[in-house]
Amino acid sequence: MDALVLMGSFFLFMLLGVPVAYALGMASLIGALWIDLPLDGVMIQIASGVNKFSLLAIPFFVLAGAIMAEGGMARRLVAFAGVLVGFMRGGLALVNILASTFFGAISGSSVADTASIGSVLIPEMERKGYPRDFSTAVTVSGSIQATLIPPSHNAVIYSLAAGGSVSVAALFLAGVLPGLLLGLCIAILCVVIARKRNFPVGQRVGLREALRIGVDALWGLMTMVIILGGILSGVFTATESASIAVLWAFFVTMFIYRDYQWRDLPKLVHRTVKTVTIVMILIGFAASFGYLMTLMQIPTKVTAFFVSISNSKGMILLMINIMLLLLGTLMDMAPLLLILTPILLPVVTSLGVDPVHFGMIMIVNLGIGLITPPVGSVLYVGSAVSKLPIGVVTKAMLPFFAVLLVVLMLVTYIPAISMWLPRWFGL
C-alpha cells in the first residue's frame, strides 16, 4: 500500500499536467505523511541531494556545450566531416552523422546537437536533393550519440542516481564504443538508402582546403581530447574536467574563432542557468523520492517481482528494455534515470550485470525515447528546425528506429561493447 500511495500520487500529478520535478516533490510529501515520516526528513534529503561536488559537472558541461554550440563550432565540424566522408554517394547524410559524433563529444546534449547541426545541414541537404523528412530523420537519430559519447551529463546523473557508487570516468569510457556503434549503424542504413534512392555523390575537397578546414576544426575537437586525456592521465577528475572544458570552450570561441559577440555572452549564461536550475530542482526532489522508495522497500519488492517471473538474466533484461522503451515515450531522460535507477539497479546487480554496463543500457533505451513521440524532446526540436509536422518526421524515422533497436540489443547482450574500454584502463 505504501508503494501505491507514493507512485500513485506521482502519476496522478503527472496526469494533471504538473511538471515532473514538482510531481516528484509533492508525491514525496504525500508519501512521508502516509508513513508518518517527519517532513524535516524530506527537506534534508532534498538539500543533501543537490549538495554533492560531482553535480558541478552538470552546469559546467552544459555551459561548455552551449558556448561551442553558439560559437560557430557546428559549422566547422560539418565542414571537417565533409572532408572525411562528403565525397561518397549520400555523403551529406554521412557528414550529418559524423558531425553529430564530433559535436556530441563536445556538447554532450542531443538537443543542442539537433539544433546546431540541423540548422546547418537540413537546409543544405534539401538544396542538394535530399528529402527534407529524411534529412531531419538523420539529424535527429544521429544526435542520440551525444547521450553516450563523453562528456555526457546523463552519465553524471546516472552515477548520482546509483548513489555515487558508479565512477563517472568509467561511464564516460563505457559510452565511447556504444556511441560509435550507434553512429556506424545509422551510417550503414544511410548508405543503403542512398544507393536505393540514388542520392547525389558529393565532391572531393582539395588537399590545401582540407588541411585548412582540419586545422580550423582542430581547436574544437581538442575539447574531447582535453576532457578524456585529463581524466585518464589523472591530471584532474571528471568533475574538474567540466570546468576545464568551459575555459577551453570560452577561449576557443571568443579568441580563436571570434564568431560570437561579447554582448551576447550574458544571455547565453542566463539560458544555461535556467536549464541547470530545472535540472537541480529535479535532482533534489528525486533524492527525496528515492529516499522514500528505499524506506518503503520498493527496490526489494521490484527485484522479487522480476525474479518471480523468470530467473533468466536475458529475459529480465528484455522485460526491463521493453519497460524503459515505453516509459521513455512518456517522460524525459533525466527524471527517468533518477527515478528508475534506484529501483532497477538492485534487480540487475543481483543477476550479475555490471552497474556500468546497465548504465549504458538505460541511456541507449532512454535516448531512443528522446526521439519517440509523444514526448520526445529531440524529435520536437528536429521538427521545429525543419518546419515539418511531427507525424511526417516520425514516419521518416521508422527505419532508423529499427536500427536503434538493433543497437540496443547489441549493447544489452554483448557487455564487452560497454565494458572493454573501462576494463582496459582499469576503471
DSSP per residue over 231-251, as a string? HHHTSS-HHHHHHHHHHHHHH
Phi, psi values for residue 201, rounded to 5° = -90, 135
Asked whether the beta carbons of 238 and 169 are under 8 A apart, the reply is yes
Average pLDDT in the 10-27 region? 85
User: What whole-number distance in Å separates Cα of residue 308 and Cα of residue 133?
Assistant: 45
Q: Which of 154-158, 252-256, 293-297, 382-386 has the lowest mean pLDDT?
A: 293-297
Report pLDDT for 420: 94
User: What whole-number distance in Å separates Cα of residue 409 and Cα of residue 100?
Assistant: 22
Phi, psi values for residue 425, rounded to 5° = -95, 5
DSSP string, 254-314: IIII--S-GGGHHHHHHHHHHHHHHHHHHHHHHHHHHHHHHHTTHHHHHHHHHHHH---HH
Q: Quick one: which of 393, 415, 352, 421 has its CA closest to 176?
A: 421
Report pLDDT for 138: 92
Report pLDDT for 412: 95
Task: Supply the range of the domain harboring residue 265.
Answer: 2-424
For the cut 80, the answer to whether the pLDDT of residue 74 exceeds it is no
8-state DSSP, 414 = -
Average pLDDT in the 246-261 region? 84
Residue 44 binned pLDDT confidence (cut-offs 50, 70, 90)? confident
For the cut 80, the answer to whether the pLDDT of residue 238 exceeds it is no
Contacts 24+ apart (CB under 8 A), 261-267: 264/70
Asked whether the beta carbons of 60 and 101 are under 8 A apart, the reply is no
Query: How confident is the model over 121-171, as pLDDT tens digits?
Result: 888 888 888 899 999 999 999 989 988 988 888 888 899 888 878 888 899
How many domains does the chain divide into? 1
Report pLDDT for 150: 84
Residue 3 binned pLDDT confidence (cut-offs 50, 70, 90)? confident
Average pLDDT, the chain: 85
**Over the Cα atoms of the chain, what is R_g?**
22
User: Percent helix, strand, coil in the chain (nearest 5)?
Assistant: 80, 0, 20
DSSP string, 90-116: THHHHHHHHHHHHHHHHH--HHHHHHH
Report pLDDT for 272: 82
Ranges of H-type helices in 51-89: 57-70, 73-85
Asked whether the beta carbons of 105 and 92 are under 8 A apart, the reply is no
For the cut 90, the answer to whether the pLDDT of residue 16 exceeds it is no
pTM, two decimal places = 0.86
Residue with cell 575555459: 247
- The H or E element spanning position 140 is helix 132-142
Report pLDDT for 288: 85
Report pLDDT for 425: 84
